[in-house]
Structure 1
Amino acid sequence: MTTDPLPRLRALCLALPEVTEKLSHGEPTWFVRKVFVTYADRHHDDRVAFWCAAPPGAQEAMVAAHPDRFFRPPYVGGRGWLGVWLDVPVDWDEVAEIVADAYREIAPRRLVARMPS
C-alpha cells in the first residue's frame, strides 16, 4: 500500500448526513447516532482494513466471492458486519457503495432520505 487510505475513507463517511467521527478503541470511527464504520489500522493483526454494517447476507456473499478483499471481522462479524481490506488494491467506487450501504443500515430513515444521489 503506497498511500494512507484513511483520508479517503474519512471523506466518504463524513460526506453523509449528520455523521460524526470519534476515536473508539483507539481507532477513527464514524457514527450516525450509532457506529456504522470503524477503521482498523493493524488493530488485531498486521493489516489495514475497515469494518462496517452490511445488509443481510452481504458479508457471506462478499467474503465467499472475494476472500482476498473481504473478511468476517472479529466481534461484529457475527452480526453480519463486513471487513474490507485496505492494504490490497482498492476499488474506491466499490468502497463508496459499501460505506453508503453501511450508513443505510444504521441511519434513521429521515437521514437516509437526505443522502446524496
Structure 2
Amino acid sequence: MQTERGQAMLERVQTICSELPEVDQIVDGFGHDVMKVRGKTFIMMGEGHNSEHPSLSVKATKEQQFLLLEQGGYVKTPYIGHHGWVSVDMAVGPNWDELTDIIQEAYLLAAPKRLVKQVLESVAK
C-alpha cells in the first residue's frame, strides 16, 4: 500500500486480524496485500493505478454475498465474485464495525476446524 488511505486501511485490517490465530500477511504476485490462514486467503487488498481508492475484498459465502450486495456498500469482487467474494464500495466507505464482523466470518470460512473451534471457544468465554 502506497497511499495514506491504503496504509490506514491496511493497519485497520492488521489490527482486526491480530486477534485471530495463525494469520499470515503476504504480498502476492499482483502486488495485493493478502491475509491468509494456513495458506487459505480470506482478505485481499490493493491499490489500482487508475483508482483513487484502495480496494478491500473479503471471502464470503454466496448467501452472505447476496445479503451484503442487497444492503449496499459492497460490490461483487471482479474475477472471483462468482465464488462469493465481496469488495467494499470505497466510494461509500467502509463501516469498520460491520467490517470487523465480516472479516472474522471470512477467517472462519478459511480456517481449519481446529482454529475455528479455538476462536469460537474464546468468544464464548
Same fold (TM over 0.5): yes
Q: More deviation in 92-101 or 2-11? A: 2-11
**Other-structure match for 2:59:** 53
**In structure 2, what is the equivalent of residue 37 of structure 1?**
43
Correspondent of 1:14 among 4, 12, 18? 18
Q: Is the 8 A contact 1:5 1:86 kept in 2?
A: no
Task: Return the structure number with greater helix share.
Answer: 2
- 1:25-68 residue CA offsets vs partner (Å, 9 max, x unmatched): 202100002111111223674432211111231112211221xx
| Same amino acid, percent of matched pairs | 29
Any stretches of 5+ residues in structure 1 without a counterpart?
none
The 5 A counterparts of 1:93-112 are 93-112=97-116
Task: Tell me the residue number matched to 2:86.
Answer: 82
The alpha-carbon deviation at position 104 of structure 1 amounts to 0.9
Q: TM-score, normalised by structure 1?
A: 0.84
Structure with greater contact order relative to length (CA < 8 Å, sep ≥ 6): 1
**Where does the alignment leave 5 or more consecutive residues of structure 2 unmatched?**
none
CA-based RMSD of the aligned residues comes to 2.1
For 1:65, the aligned partner's letter is: Q
What is the number of equivalent residue pairs in this alignment? 114
